[in-house]
Structure formats: structure tokens, C-alpha cells
Amino acid sequence: MSSATLSRPAPERLACKPRVDAFFEPRTCSVQYVVSDLSSGACALIDPVLDYDEKSGCTATTSADALLAFVQEQDLTVEWILDTHPHADHFSASGYLKDQTGAKTAIGEQVVAVQRLWKEIYNLPDGFPTDGSQWDRLFADGDVFRIGDMEASVLFSPGHTLASVTYVIGDAAFIHDTLFMPDFGTARCDFPGGDARALWRTIQSILSLPDDTRLFSGHDYRPGGRPPAWESSVTSQKAHNTHLKQAGTEEQFVALRKARDGTLPMPKLILHALQVNMAGGRLPIPEDNGMRYLKIPLDALPCAMWE
């Protein structure tokens, strides 16, 4: 479906005000979220991080365990573990958290296109499924689901990736890597499957939500060394987003985004992370010696800038 025809959440759903708790992960500048319905004690975990040190090859569950500790302290029940897209800069902890909580996992239905694309890049075996079956549910644009007594809706939000979605839960929208804090701007579109025109239309859709909608970004890169921040609003993005102030039309935005993306090196974990994240946050299965191995394709991104 075209991003120009995205479904809009019903007004009554926007009246709900969920509790939102953010957990900033400084190694990858990622933000994990716990979104809670205080009336029922139900919650969803959004974009959880599985820790990974590329120098040693070690993984850890410290960031994800912080979510579990918070959930336990607040006496919450995890109903959903939601990824907004297959991340290129950190591992998803969705698989680990499903094992710990039994909650349902979900992502946008276009993840199957990402799986097909990257299965070829990684030259994965025929047995690797590209039907999204690694998640419990694949969301389409306009889908509605429940977190306790709250209704949530899904907006297909392509541009940064082929599969990105936004979760609108009451007056809160989880906009992942579309709009960052206004002083940083917008997401890059130069990954395989990215599209600056699609991102522009996605941004217009997000900014057509009510002005007081709380917008929660998936990363914060702390320009100027300021403290981490992750919450903005439709009003503040319209007034202050640095890229939107420079580019008021689609053509201007595409030119700005392409020029900026042409100067950016690839995320250091893109080739590590995608093979995990397109498998629902599951690490590769152990080989006959009990060790797990990542597969790094050489020269798969030949036009990427070097640091």
C-alpha cells in the first residue's frame, strides 16, 4: 500500500494516554520502550536490544533484563514484544524476551521482502524461511490490536527500510527511525530497500496525526553532546525539525537526504545484525562444536563510505 494512503487511527483511540517508560542503550544510542495500560497491568515492549560487542563477539542480555526487572517491579504482564523494523544497528532481543515471558512477537508484514533481499545477500540455505514465520504476527497497514484495555493501530511507514511500521497507541506514536529529535532530523534511506521519497510520504503521514501526539524515536545520537532525549510531538517536529526546515517539498527532501546519506558510513553492525533480526531476534543455531557463528558477506555493500 502506498504511504500516501495510510490508514489513520480512530479519534477515540488517540484519547487514551498510555504510560511510556524509555530505556536508553548508549552503545548503539537505541531506545527501548515499555508501554503500559495501567488499568489492566498489561504492557508491550518495543524495539528491545540484545547486547553485542563486535570486538569480542560476545552477547549479553543486560539491556533486555532491565526491561524484565522493570516489568516485575511494576507488576506488569507483557502481552506483546514489538519490533518496528529489522534493525541495522543493534540485535533485537525479541526472541530472548519471548522465551522469558511467553508474549507474542510482531513486526510489519513487509519483513518478508527484507528476508528475501538479505537471504540472497547472505546466501542462506533454502531452509531459511522468508515468510515471516519467525514472529507470531505480521502486521499490515491499518491493523488494530489490543494491549490490555488499550487499542493500538499500525501504520505502514516505509522509507528507512522496506518493512518499517509505526505503532500508534493512544496519544503515543512509536516512530522508530523516521523522525529523530528535531535537532537531529530524519532517518537515512541508503540501506538496501530504502527510499527517500517513501520516507518523505511516511513523515507527512506521521505529521498528520493530532498536534499533541507524543512521538517516540528509536534512537538519539545526542548532537552537541546533550543528554539523551527521545520524546517529541507533532507540533515540535513541524516547527523545529532541522531537515524539514531545510526541505519543505518532497523534491528538496529527496535531494537533502541523498546528499547527506552519501557522506555516511554504514552502521558498524549492519552485517552482523540483520541476519539475527530477520530471524526474529534469534541467534544462529550452534554448530557441531557448540559455537554459534555469524556470516559476514564481503563486498556486499561496495558503494558504502568508509570511516
Residues 6+ apart with CB under 8 A from 186: 178, 179, 180, 199, 203, 241, 243, 244, 253, 257
Classify residue 294: in a domain, yes or no: no
Q: What is the pLDDT of residue 4?
A: 38
Nearest CA to 3 among 245, 199, 271?
199
- On whether the CB atoms of residues 174 and 33 are closer than 8 A, the answer is yes
Q: Per-residue confidence of the chain (307 residues) as pLDDT tens digits? A: 333 344 555 555 556 899 999 999 999 999 999 999 999 999 999 999 999 999 999 999 999 999 999 999 999 999 999 999 999 999 999 999 999 999 999 999 999 999 999 999 999 999 999 999 999 999 999 999 999 999 999 999 999 999 999 999 999 999 999 999 999 999 999 998 999 999 999 999 999 999 999 999 999 999 999 999 999 999 999 999 999 999 999 999 999 999 999 999 999 999 999 999 999 999 999 999 999 999 999 999 887 888 8
Q: What is the pLDDT of residue 303?
A: 79
Classify residue 299: in a domain, yes or no: no
Q: Which three cell numbers stand for residue 39?
A: 488499568
Classify residue 298: in a domain, yes or no: no
Nearest CA to 208 among 182, 186, 187, 238?
238
What's the structural domain count of the chain? 1
The domain containing residue 105 runs over which residues? 13-277
Classify residue 66: in a domain, yes or no: yes
Q: What is the pLDDT of residue 105?
A: 98
| Alpha-carbon torsion angle 249, 213, 218, 82, nearest 10 | -120
Q: What is the pLDDT of residue 6?
A: 46
Q: What is the pLDDT of residue 9?
A: 58
Domain at 17, CATH number: 3.60.15.10
Classify residue 175: in a domain, yes or no: yes
Q: What is the pLDDT of residue 11?
A: 53
CA distance 3 to 11: 20
Classify residue 284: in a domain, yes or no: no
Classify residue 18: in a domain, yes or no: yes
Classify residue 191: in a domain, yes or no: yes
Q: What is the pLDDT of residue 120?
A: 95
Radius of gyration of the chain (CA): 18
CA distance 231 to 126: 42
Model confidence, pTM: 0.94
Environment class of 7 (CB within 10 Å of its CB; exposed 0-12, middle 13-18, buried 19+): middle
Residues 6+ apart with CB under 8 A from 226: 183
